[in-house]
Amino acid sequence: MTGALLPSDPSSLAGYRLLGRLGAGGMGVVYLGRTDEGALAAIKVIQAEYAEDPQFRVRFRREAEAARRVGSPWVVPVTGADPDAAAPWLATAFVPGPSLAEAVAECGPLPARSVRVLARMLAGALAEVHTAGLVHRDVKPGNVLLAVDGPRLIDFGIARAADDTAITSADMVVGTPGFLSPEQAEARAGELGPPSDVFSLGCLLAYAATGRPPFGTGAVDALLYRTVHDEPDLEGVDERLSGLLRPCLAKNPADRPTAAALRELIVEDTPGDPAGWLPEDVVRIIAERSAAMLALPDIEPTLAEAGSGTAGSAAGTAGSGAEADTAGAGPAPGRRRFLIAAASGAVLAAGGAAAVWAALRGDDDRTTSSPPSGRDWIIGVQADLSGPGKALGRAQERGARLAVEQFNARADRPFTLTLKVADDRGDVTRAGTVARAFVEDRDVLAVLGPTSDEPARAVVGVYDGALLPLVSVSAGTSLLTTTENRSFLHARPNDLEATGPIAVFLTAGGKAVGGEYASGTAATGPSRRPGLLMDRTAADYAWASVGSVNLLVRGRGRVPYPRVVPAGTRAFGPVVADMLAAGADAFVYGGYAAGAAAFARALAAAGFDGPRYSPEAALSTEFLDAAGEAAEGWLITGTCVDATGLPSAAGFTAAHRKRFGSAPGFYAAEAYDVVNMIADVLRTADGRPTRARLTAALRRTTHQGVTKKFAFVPETGSFVAPEGGAVFGYLVADGRFRFLGPAPVPSSDA
């Protein structure tokens, strides 16, 4: 819940003694502060680059004024603000409870009565917002804090007067996908009135009742489409509550109730005192956090002495990307210590991220020795070392470690690198804890990871808020590289690009491709009618892989036969029979390894031994073990190399065998390359770079590694594929993956 102050953070601001950090993002930092009278406050401080924008100051002033105009007890009140300060700030009363998003993630969906009470109070809050002539426009679980006496609506950062259209662009989608109204999803700015907030409230309440957004999750475009066209998923919601939610979720704004009318309706629906409205496990979280706040000690004044590095301006925070030069800094003041009630219930001491590393490290020693004095130059590795992706995570950790050890062995090194490794177990919640620890460690200059898509998507905003470079070699979703993410680098083609070669095989055939692909069962073709199977168990991954193949083969004049199966399907016999009856003479499976194995067995049982393809998720021992002989002949495309079969990686492979006693696993060589790339950029920097400067330098670098050439689009961090591509093929033969080398690249004139 609360993080330590960084050495560059101020110790006080506008009469508030700062006790810690509540969060950091692309806009700035939110601090926990205390007045001389002992009242706690959440203080949002904006970073310098936004403060210099006159339009942003207009918006920030509007936020403060908007929040002050609302008098509901269920809206967090503003206690102070200065939009004209060098670093604009806004303070609100501090609520120690979790957000609704945190509570549902940790404790599961709320009981029906809790949801109805929540609905009544939030409807009352929105009624006051709308009476004040405002539209909130971002009603979501993260903007609702839970307290024993009721919820609190927060964050008027994008609220506006109902008739104000001057600042927001007419074609900009504003708000949070999954909790947007149809008019927001279609960027119909002129229609964004109070009914839009009511629709978002309906989405929020459905999430509270079920633990999932009513229009699903995944790619933003898909979410927006479902919001506009699909019916909400209210499965599992009791009949009385469902009757309240459906009118709120009407597509036509005119068909929705007003917030005031909804509040009155729920008064009749929920008689009695709302006391005890939350389940015990949520109340326990509130109590623990409240107790932690009571345990906060007084803080003695901290003097900003020249060169001490113990204090700085509010703008000089990790949120701005600026780092104070704290070389030679003395220890933090002895009284600047406070208790942190973490989401797991662990109590940690302040003083940076060091206190959490023992919990985040693996079983063995994962920290390379660092220089005895001065600031460390640390590269972090956030990986799944003990969860479902541990094979990939441990391979990357070894590749990174080998690169650091070789760098430190050089006599001409200008500094010593330290490797700090943290295990996120492939878990989204733990991934956030790891990311925040790396962000708060001022000596971490860049981070490699995470291993898989969901943790990566969960933490990219955390790293982005601190402009800490985050480079992933194995997460594949294209959602990671957007213009909104300022510090992420994708060191591989994304999932859409990684399946391009499959379309070439289907339309040209292996003999036309040549090389290793000219022989082998999987390389025959071309296909007259490819069968494409999308397994919804894999959600966005299945859509990205099979969807791209579908578009590419259609562009080459083929008419594929696509099928979609529900999540959890393992009995593929009927769908195989249907696809064969439709004339499918080749198959592409889009999904995870377990489903690919089940589909392979169904094809084998039907007697099919023709071309069978799958994207990278099947490149695992899980597929080989579960499919058995049915895996023989499958061709799988991926963005990782088999270093043992790549001549340019022979030196790396030999060094890996010597150091770890085994051949390198998938993505070990890519991790080795990325750490060497970071080290090379650091060597050429003029002194120790800030995180922001390092991010910019990495996005503009070109690095020839042992696996491929690495280059990026500076604006997004997207991977720029070298000539010849960066996707590779593997054929399952004799129970193992045979590396076929670079896969064919689809032509641009298709």
Place of tokens 């169904």: 602
The Cα–Cα gap between 301 and 289 comes to: 25
Alpha-helical regions (H) of 591-714: 593-605, 621-627, 650-660, 668-684, 691-699
Environment class of residue 582 by beta-carbon count within 10 Å: exposed (0-12), middle (13-18) or buried (19+)? Answer: exposed
CA distances from 79 to 95, 220, 740 (A): 13, 36, 65
- State yes or no: is 363 an active-site residue: no
pTM of the model: 0.57
| Contact of 227 with 182, CB cutoff 8 Å | yes
Instruction: Tally Cβ neighbours within 10 Å of residue 647.
Output: 7
Interval 417-474: pLDDT, tens: 999 999 999 998 899 999 999 999 999 999 999 999 999 988 998 898 889 999 999 9
Q: What is the pLDDT of residue 133?
A: 82
Percentage, residues of the chain above pLDDT 90: 47
Give residue 93's pLDDT band: very low, low, confident or very high (50, 70, 90).
confident
Mean pLDDT confidence for 632-644: 95
Give residue 738's pLDDT band: very low, low, confident or very high (50, 70, 90).
very high
**What's 111-278's CATH class?**
mainly alpha
Instruction: Tally Cβ neighbours within 10 Å of residue 376.
Output: 18
Mean pLDDT confidence for 737-743: 92
Q: How many helices (H) and strands (E) does the chain have?
A: 24, 26
Query: Pairing mode, if any, of strands 40-46 and 28-34?
Result: antiparallel
Highest mean predicted confidence (pLDDT) among 40-44, 304-308, 715-719: 715-719
User: For all residues of the chain together, what is the average pLDDT?
Assistant: 81
Q: What is the pLDDT of residue 646?
A: 93
Interval 536-559: pLDDT, tens: 888 778 878 888 888 888 888 888
In the chain, where the domains are located: 111-278, 352-493+660-697, 496-638+727-742
- The number of residues making up the chain comes to 750
The Cα–Cα gap between 685 and 675 comes to: 16
Q: What is the pLDDT of residue 325?
A: 30
The Cα–Cα gap between 398 and 673 comes to: 12
CA distances from 120 to 151, 196, 260 (A): 10, 17, 9
- 496-638+727-742 is classed CATH 3.40.50.2300: yes
The Cα–Cα gap between 188 and 191 comes to: 6
Mean pLDDT confidence for 371-400: 89
Environment class of residue 36 by beta-carbon count within 10 Å: exposed (0-12), middle (13-18) or buried (19+)? Answer: exposed
Say whether pLDDT at 517 is over 80.
Answer: no
Q: What is the pLDDT of residue 168?
A: 37
Mean pLDDT confidence for 322-334: 31
| Contact of 671 with 649, CB cutoff 8 Å | no
Query: How does DSSP assign 691-734, residue by residue?
Result: HHHHHHHHHT-EEE-SS-EEEB-TTT--B-PPTT-S-EEEEEET
**Residue 566: phi, psi to the nearest 5?**
-65, 155
Q: What is the pLDDT of residue 96?
A: 84
Say whether pLDDT at 362 is over 80.
Answer: no
Interval 483-503: pLDDT, tens: 567 899 999 999 888 988 999
Greatest pairwise CA separation for the chain in angstroms:
80
Mean pLDDT confidence for 589-610: 96
**What's 352-493+660-697's CATH class?**
alpha beta
Percentage, residues of the chain above pLDDT 70: 80
- Assess whether the region 352-493+660-697 and the region 496-638+727-742 belong to the same CATH fold: yes
The catalytic residue among 9, 138, 376, 453 is: 138
Say whether pLDDT at 411 is over 70.
Answer: yes
Q: What is the pLDDT of residue 139?
A: 93
The Cα–Cα gap between 338 and 461 comes to: 26
Q: What is the pLDDT of residue 157?
A: 52
The Cα–Cα gap between 126 and 181 comes to: 15
Interval 274-306: pLDDT, tens: 567 899 889 888 877 776 665 554 443 333 333
Interval 225-246: pLDDT, tens: 889 988 999 998 988 899 999 9
The long-range contacts involving 525-529, CB below 8 angstroms and separated by at least 24 positions, are 525/586, 525/611, 527/558, 527/585, 527/586, 527/611, 528/558, 528/583, 528/585, 529/558, 529/559, 529/560, 529/561, 529/582, 529/583, 529/584, 529/585
The token pair at 227 is 């919001």
Q: What is the pLDDT of residue 26?
A: 56
Interval 175-216: pLDDT, tens: 578 899 999 888 787 778 999 999 999 999 999 999 999 998
388 vs 70 pLDDT, higher one: 388
Say whether pLDDT at 627 is over 50.
Answer: yes
Instruction: Tally Cβ neighbours within 10 Å of residue 715.
Output: 11
Q: What is the pLDDT of residue 2?
A: 66
Q: What is the pLDDT of residue 746?
A: 78
Q: What is the pLDDT of residue 256?
A: 96
